[in-house]
Amino acid sequence: MKSTANLFGSKLSRRKALTYGAATALSTPFISRAWAAPTEINMLAWYGHGEPDVVAEFEAANNVKFKPKYYAGGDNMLGLIAQSPPGTYDVILSDGEFVQQLNAAGYIEELNAADYPFDDMLYEDFTKFPGHWKDGKLYSMMVRCGHLGVSYNKNAITAEEAMSYECFWKPEVKGKVGHFDWHLPSLGMMSLYNGNGAGLWDLSDGKWDAVQETTLSLRPQVGGYFDYGGTFNSLKNGEMLAMCGIGDWITGVLEKDGAPVGSVVPKEGGIQWTESYCIGKGTEKADIVKKFIQYMLSAEGQVKSAQMAAYPGFAITKSGRARLIEVDRAEAERTGQIDGMANDPITLVKEGRIHYRNIPVQQTLEDWNDFWSEYKNA
Amino acid sequence: MSDSTPAKAASSAARQSSVFKLTFRLPIIIWQSLFFIGPLCFMVAMSFFIVRNYRMQEDFVMKNWLKMLGRDYFWDSYFLTWGLAGIGTVVTMLVAFPAAYTLAFKVSETVRRWAIFMLIIPFFTSYLVRIFSWYVILAESGVINAGLSYLGLGPFVMLNTKFGTVVGYMTLTLPLVIILQTFALANIDKSLVEAAFNLGCRPFRTIYRVILPMARTGLIIAAVFCFILSFGDFVSPYYLGGSKPPTLPILIVDTVKSGQQWPRAAVVAVVMMVTLFVVAFAGIMAAYRRRFG
Amino acid sequence: MSDNRPLRWFLYGYLALVFTFVFAPILFSVIFSFNSDRFPTIPLGSFTLKWYQTVWNDPDVWEAARTSLTVSPKSHLRSVHPILRRLHPC
């Protein structure tokens, strides 16, 4: 049997060659990084905010590297912060309605209002967004928003039917209505369907019972409860023909991928999700985080936010909107972000058809979550 | 001192050897205590803690137990998880048996080795990715339904159903169950099987009266593993079953995700563990029960 | 063991079916890793290596691989160590 030992000169050197080769291959991406040693910024956010399509430009220009930790749902976010030592997160993206709790618990730093472009906001209300100010001090900066309403498959539900939450009860979609697996937006929609309008989060015992009853009546129609990935999959391959608790932030991505889905704000009203950046308490990188927040509010940042691959949002500054129309008119048209269009989100807000998402007033989040488990088991 | 009797020498040697054995056993005892029993005790303790402002605080309250066990949806979930894991185990064992029988008796040693090797491959892959793959196969516009439509059969709803959950359980447990069953069957005394044939016993009767009883230990162990894995699985009922209805693992995640109720989740986890201890114990007793006569 | 031909072939076919069930998801995920569409649906899109490129270029993936490679041998040794002790003739 001829020995193969001489293939690389000697058996020993072949093994060495393999080891060195593997080590080099495994360390290649580190070589370029080692020279630069960028500052790491720990981010706590919804999925997608730390991805290259949003932050790569800022990272390159400022020699930083974002380390995102993603959550799903404001209460999830609070839990994550509560369990980590102060200073774990440098920048926190919070749902608008949770900023108050972040502040009350002392997790965020005060911001200097002069640093941010308040006069560039599209809507006056955004400059004094509820919960972001306390005793005249600013704690959080709104950067984007979006609307939640009826999300549907255009082949199964017509545009007129979609103008009311009633379409979820349509017999033709029995077993094909999905829920995003978070109680807050779905129960908010049920509350709007019950006609609670602007008081949708402030439910007396009677109204809360009514909302629970309405929700339970939808149970026979429900096909499943899905997380972020499951929601995308179900709508894309037609397993679900309608989805409760989401909006264009999901269907926008699918539409771009060619799926026959869409979202509208129905006549009973829609819900606005708002995302705001805060500086984590105890961080040592407050300056660079401030710079990042300013970047996200600049025209480039607003366009990046509107075009975010994970899920799109509305530009909230005039310069942002103008730049979006310039570089991506198709997207601006699709989402109505052109002054004068019928479904201009700012117009909808001004008309009162949109209600900011909030946490329940007379019940606790725990009560609503408890009912959510009950609903799943019904 | 040369009055040490052989008995004394023997006992001192025995003592030396037992000290020696203890030194060997000590690491694993310490390890198990630190990383297995310790966390277990902490989890039981945690079920008595309380959560204030999303922060867990040490306490001793019965509130979590009363609240959780008093909820209808907890018991619904509990019995559902039992049922689904039970059905999953039965189905997996039945599906695996003919395959294991073939591998144990009807193929050559080489083929059996290759088959076992191939069955280990799934353990190298990501369970989650395999579950996502089932989406494409089971969806109404998926591969199976597309094929069936050529035969004129209507689209079947397979995702977001209990059927989907069981398919998921099988994805998790089938390779392991086949391997365990094959080993159980291959290690029985084949001369007894031959004797049965020589005495005129037909194949199916042989299986029932001779092979199964001899392989009983291994088969019960396989079933116990299958049940335990299915009972504690979160991924299948969530992604292929649509959380509809939710099983206990999903309940744990729901309890923690919103409201950060770790103590209540600990209650569910402790109930699950006690259940599985009982099942495993009963299984081992049944497996190793001596046959009388 | 009586040699029942039809039974034998049935069992071989059954075994093949079971292996198909076990390997179908793995095969499908390999196929879809070359698919151009972001979400896995049929009909397939076009053949592409872009997902492999994205993963190769992501330093976080390499970091994770390094962690896995260093952690799993350690935990493997820890769990095998007691078993090895038992095998020691003692």
Q: A157 and A257 in one domain?
A: yes
Please report which confidence band the pLDDT of residue A222 belongs to, taking 50, 70 and 90 as the band edges: very high
Nearest to B259 among A230, A237, A366 (CB): A366
pLDDT at A258: 86
A15 within some domain: no
Instruction: Tell me the per-residue pLDDT of B242-254, one tens digit each, with 9 for 90 and over.
Output: 988 899 999 998 8
Asked if C4 lies within 8 A of B98 by C-beta distance, the reply is no
CB A69 within 8 A of CB A42: yes
A31 within some domain: no
Tokens representing A327? 């570089």
Contacts C8 to B, Cβ<8 Å: 106
Q: A367 and A223 in one domain?
A: yes
Question: What CA–CA distance (Å, rounded) separates A372 from A375?
Answer: 5
Q: A89 and A196 in one domain?
A: no
Question: What CA–CA distance (Å, rounded) separates B280 from B220?
Answer: 10
Contacts C39 to A, Cβ<8 Å: 232-233, 236-237, 257
pLDDT at C89: 53
Question: What CA–CA distance (Å, rounded) separates A326 from A197?
Answer: 36
Q: A164 and A251 in one domain?
A: yes
Does the pLDDT value for residue C76 go beyond 80?
A: no
Asked if C90 lies within 8 A of B132 by C-beta distance, the reply is no
pLDDT at B155: 85
Q: Lowest mean pLDDT of A70-79, A282-291, B60-69, C70-79, name the range.
A: C70-79
Asked if C15 lies within 8 A of B96 by C-beta distance, the reply is no
Q: Strands A242-244 and A177-180, how do they pair?
A: parallel
Q: Lowest mean pLDDT of A43-57, A241-255, A338-352, name the range.
A: A338-352
Asked if A257 lies within 8 A of C37 by C-beta distance, the reply is yes
| pTM for the whole structure | 0.82
Give the rounded percent of residues in chain A with a pLDDT score beyond 70.
90
List the single residue in A with minimal CA-CA distance to B54. A79
Asked if A374 lies within 8 A of B73 by C-beta distance, the reply is yes
Give CA separation, A180 vs A78, A216, A234, A361, B221, in Å: 19, 16, 11, 22, 39
CA distance B200 to chain C (A): 10
Count of residues making up chain B: 293
Q: Which domains does chain B show, CATH number per domain?
A: 6-46 (no CATH), 63-288 (1.10.3720.10)
3-state secondary structure at position B42: helix
CA atoms within 13 A on the CB side of A110: 9
Does the pLDDT value for residue A24 go beyond 80?
A: no
Is A237's Cβ below 8 Å from some Cβ in C? yes
> Which distant-in-sequence residues (6+ apart) come within 8 Å of A335 by Cβ?
A248, A252, A306, A312, A314, A343, A345
Contacts C40 to B, Cβ<8 Å: 132-133, 135-136
Q: A47 and A127 in one domain?
A: yes
CA distance C6 to chain A (A): 41
List the single residue in C with minimal CA-CA distance to B99. C15
User: Domain tally for chain A?
Assistant: 2
CB A285 within 8 A of CB A85: no
Instruction: Tell me the residues of B at the A interface, defined by beta carbons under 8 Å apart.
Output: 53-55, 71-73, 76-77, 132, 135-136, 139-142, 157, 159-160, 238-239, 241-246, 250-251, 254-261
Nearest to A76 among B71, B245, B258 (CB): B258
Q: A156 and A141 in one domain?
A: no
A24 within some domain: no
> Which distant-in-sequence residues (6+ apart) come within 8 Å of A46 by Cβ?
A70, A71, A72, A93, A275, A310, A311
Q: A362 and A256 in one domain?
A: yes
Global ipTM: 0.82
Instruction: Tell me the per-residue pLDDT of B199-231, one tens digit each, with 9 for 90 and over.
Output: 888 878 888 888 888 899 999 999 999 999 999
Q: A277 and A227 in one domain?
A: no
CB B202 within 8 A of CB C6: no
Q: A220 and A310 in one domain?
A: no
A364 within some domain: yes
Instruction: Tell me the per-residue pLDDT of A99-131, one tens digit each, with 9 for 90 and over.
Output: 988 888 889 999 998 889 888 888 888 888 888
Sign of the alpha-carbon dihedral angle for A228, A230, A232, A235: negative
Task: Give the residue-averaged pLDDT of A18-41.
Answer: 62
CA distance B77 to chain C (A): 28
Task: Give the residue-averaged pLDDT of A264-282.
Answer: 93
Q: What is the dihedral of CA A303, A182, B242, B120, to 10 degrees?
A: 70
A100 within some domain: yes
Q: Strands A242-244 and A150-153, how do they pair?
A: antiparallel
What is the residue-wise DSSP string for B148-174? HHHTTPPPP--TTSHHHHHHHHHHHHH
Please report which confidence band the pLDDT of residue A250 belongs to, taking 50, 70 and 90 as the band edges: very high
Does the pLDDT value for residue B30 go beyond 60?
A: yes
Chains interfacing with B (3 or more CB pairs < 8 Å) = A, C
Q: Which residue has the tokens 């927040």?
A: A293
Asked if A236 lies within 8 A of C62 by C-beta distance, the reply is no
Contacts C55 to A, Cβ<8 Å: none
Chains interfacing with C (3 or more CB pairs < 8 Å) = A, B
Question: What CA–CA distance (Å, rounded) separates A296 from A283?
Answer: 19
Instruction: Tell me the per-residue pLDDT of B268-281, one tens digit each, with 9 for 90 and over.
Output: 999 999 999 999 99
Q: Strands A177-180 and A64-71, how do they pair?
A: unpaired
Residue A74, domain extent: 39-145+273-338
pLDDT at C60: 77
Tokens representing C6? 């039809």
Tokens representing C18? 């079971």
List the single residue in A with minimal CA-CA distance to B76. A377
A50 within some domain: yes
Q: Which of A26, A31, A55 to mutate to test the interface with C (most CBs of C within 10 A)?
A: A26
Q: Which of A226, A237, A239 to mutate to test the interface with C (most CBs of C within 10 A)?
A: A237
CA distance C27 to chain A (A): 19
Does the pLDDT value for residue A4 go beyond 70?
A: no
Q: Which of B36, B136, B143, B189 to mutate to test the interface with C (most CBs of C within 10 A)?
A: B136
Instruction: Tell me the per-residue pLDDT of B78-110, one tens digit each, with 9 for 90 and over.
Output: 999 999 999 999 999 999 999 999 999 889 999
What number of other Cβ atoms are within 10 A of residue A81's Cβ? 23
H or E element: which one contains A355?
strand A354-356
CA distance A368 to chain B (A): 9
Does the pLDDT value for residue A199 go beyond 80?
A: yes
Instruction: State the CATH number of the domain containing residue A173.
Output: 3.40.190.10
CA atoms within 13 A on the CB side of A231: 27
Q: In terms of pLDDT, which residue wins out, A1 or A217?
A: A217
CA atoms within 13 A on the CB side of B27: 14
List the single residue in C with minimal CA-CA distance to A26. C62
Does the pLDDT value for residue B8 go beyond 90?
A: no
pLDDT at B255: 86
Q: In terms of pLDDT, which residue wins out, A254 or A11?
A: A254
